[in-house]
Chains A and B, each alone.
Chain A
Amino acid sequence: MTIVRWWETIGYPMGQAEQPAAGTWYPAVDIYETGTEIVLQVEVPGMTREQVNVEVDDGTLHLRGERKIEKDVKEESYHRVERVYGSFHRSFGLPDTVDTDKVRAELKDGMLEIRIGKREQAKPKQIQVGIN
């Protein structure tokens, strides 16, 4: 268990643009930017489409979900439980440069990938400057 995890479990949010999160666990998120999109990669192993929810509300991206422990396994049958169960909610403030109508999400191999398109004017343009 890293300090980050420990810190999060006592209720501190991790990042600058992130609002305090609620829930019992926090999926790890990578965020990167390309010329046309901002991409979030969220680790949600074992979760199905029905168990995760992606919502954009007023410039904020909300990720919610719940992972339930298997019901058919009795607690006393567990030798080891390291995976975390319960609900999570993380939210990220989106910059003005993105077009919130262009949000796509895909779930594959336990990874939720969210791609948010940038507005036309926010994309880098190459401008040729003539030298006199």
Chain B
Amino acid sequence: MAIVRWWDPMRDISSIQEKMNQLFEDTLSRSRGREEGLGTGMWTPAVDIYENNDAVVVKAEVPGLTKEQIGIEIKDGLLTLKGERKVEKEVKEENYHRIERAYGTFQRAFSLPATVDQEKISATLKNGVLELVLPKKEQAKKKQINVSVK
């Protein structure tokens, strides 16, 4: 951050850290076509998945994205989440002091268990979290069976 200047021993570490990141990213993502500067490569939204008696719930962190910037697709038992976050156009790159957020496209796919009713999947976007509710098929829901012991 250029607006405050004082000597900080962490700066060297930060720069080593940046270089290491660069190295790792370049090595691991050569095929992604990473650009310099405001790198618009790929990013991965953090996802939580849990299950209750009625449904499987997927929650993905997509802060700052609107409905229009997110795509949800189900095909052959595969749930795909896609999207793109763009850098604000009206801000010049040189006016940035710090960029930690990730920009560019993301895509994540999850295979759906056979117990999920694919016709009844619903999605809501609230406070930057995309929540998908994948209801289970009736026969997959746990039923309470009383077994009498003789």
Contacts and interface: CB of A to CB of B under 8 A. Distances in A.
Given A31-B96, A83-B48, A110-B129, A45 B63 contact: yes
A33 B97 contact: yes
B20 A46 contact: no
Contacts of B14: 14-16
Interface in A104-122: 109-111
A79 B63 contact: no
Nearest to A43: B63
Interface in A43-87: 43-48, 73, 77-84
Nearest to B46: A82
A82 B63 CA distance: 15
A12 B48 contact: no
Interface string B85-98: 00010010001111
Contacts of B96: 30-32
Contacts of B3: 17, 33, 38, 95, 97
Interface residues of A, number: 43
B128 A16 contact: no
B99 to A, nearest CB: 5
Interface in B8-30: 8, 10-11, 13-14, 17, 20-21, 24-25
Contact of A31 (B48, B66, B97, B129): B97
A2 B17 CA distance: 10
Interface of A: 2-4, 7, 12-18, 28-34, 38, 41, 43-48, 73, 77-84, 92-95, 97, 109-111
Interface of B: 1, 3-6, 8, 10-11, 13-14, 17, 20-21, 24-25, 46-52, 56, 59, 61-66, 88, 91, 95-102, 125, 127-129
- Top 6 A-B residue pairs of the complex, sorted by shortest distance between their CB atoms: A110-B128, A110-B63, A45-B128, A82-B46, A28-B100, A17-B4
